[in-house]
Amino acid sequence: MDLASRPVARLAGATRRYGQQTALDAVDLVVQRGELLALLGPNGAGKTTAIGLLLGLARADAGTVELFGMDPQRIEARRRIGVMLQSAELPPTLRVGELLRLTASYYPVPRRLEETAAMAGIGDLLKRPYAKLSGGQQRRVQFALAVCGRPELLFLDEPTVGMDIEARQKLWAAIRQLIAEGCSVLLTTHYLEEAEALADRVCVMTRGRVIHEGTVEALRARVALRRIRCASTLPIDALRAWPEITDVQRDNERLHITAADAEAVVRRLLAADPDLRELEVQRAGLAEAFTELTRDDAETSANQREAA
């Protein structure tokens, strides 16, 4: 395999246990060069554990873990990554500019300080002590520290938690710029719109296992649901009784309906309410697909437990 087509990070059959708890159960996962892979899953799914193995913070009990084809604890591998974890313990008295200079000094070809600061939107914070910043500002500084070394692979563990909408949009733009430069990214997030906005591929985990892997489109397509919106006075209790409808909510005069067979529902709606207006039909998004997948998996596991 030539170097360019080799994955930048790889878990193969990786298992990690904590006492009786299997946090990762024979997980296969690869991050290819230049892609953004979003790791999704409910709390406790094993996302942080998977990242911890790839960072060499913990060892796998079984299976293979590689960063650039090497053991993740090798310094040659570590110099090529940038990391933004959920919690960061940084020296509180250092000023932001000092922190950036110090971190950049660990890398062979770091970015210029001004470039990093512009990328993370922290140009006005460089002289401030880190501990005095707001939570959202600290997250931006942590992002700057993760990218200052011009990493080939960036780990972002729930990077936009605590950020306001504007800060989140700016961070997304910076991530897109990094991808355009050829950087690979492994991102975990609970915001499905974040995965939808950024990811080439998504990997959905629950209870230590990967239950789906593919493009955002492929994940959406696994759920055939459509979202129907319209303005109508039809009572939702009556609509809930229609077998074609999966879910229905009312927001003032607007109805929000989820259904697998949208055409059948639309025909029935139009027949039932001649005054119906503002009809819209859309494919369901990642949120519905994700809920459906994790519910299916929970049901399958419950059935397996019953059968055992």
Ligand X SMILES: Nc1ncnc2c1ncn2[C@@H]1O[C@H](COP(=O)(O)OP(=O)(O)OP(=O)(O)O)[C@@H](O)[C@H]1O
Should residue 46 be labelled a site residue for ligand X when binding is judged by CB under 6 A? yes
- Number of Cβ within 10 Å of residue 42's Cβ equals 14
Should residue 45 be labelled a site residue for ligand X when binding is judged by CB under 6 A? yes
Query: Which of 31, 36, 40, 47: binder of ligand X (CB under 6 A)?
Result: 47
b/e map 230-254, b = 16+ CB within 10 Å: bebebeeeebeebebbbebeeeeee
Provide the H-helix boundaries in the chain.
47-54, 75-78, 96-104, 113-120, 135-147, 165-180, 192-198, 216-221, 236-240, 262-272, 286-307
Minimum gap (Å) between residue 188 Cβ and ligand X:
7
Tokens of 95: 């000023």
Task: Using the minimum distance from each CB to ligand X, give the nearer residue, 54 or 245.
Answer: 54
Amino acid at 23: A
Should residue 21 be labelled a site residue for ligand X when binding is judged by CB under 6 A? yes
Residue from 282, 120, 286, 284 nearest 201 by CA: 286
Task: Using the minimum distance from each CB to ligand X, give the nearer residue, 44 or 56.
Answer: 44
Tokens of 69: 């084809």
Should residue 300 be labelled a site residue for ligand X when binding is judged by CB under 6 A? no
Query: Which of 8, 9, 11, 23: binder of ligand X (CB under 6 A)?
Result: 23
Binding segment (CB under 6 A) for ligand X, from list 45-53, 89-97, 163-171, 209-217:
45-53
Should residue 44 be labelled a site residue for ligand X when binding is judged by CB under 6 A? yes
Binding residues with ligand X: total (CB under 6 A): 11
Query: Which of 11, 36, 37, 48: binder of ligand X (CB under 6 A)?
Result: 48
Minimum gap (Å) between residue 59 Cβ and ligand X:
12
Minimum gap (Å) between residue 201 Cβ and ligand X:
18
Minimum gap (Å) between residue 46 Cβ and ligand X:
4
Amino acid at 183: C
Rg (CA), the chain: 23
Q: Which residues bind ligand X (CB under 6 A)?
A: 18, 21, 23, 41, 43-49
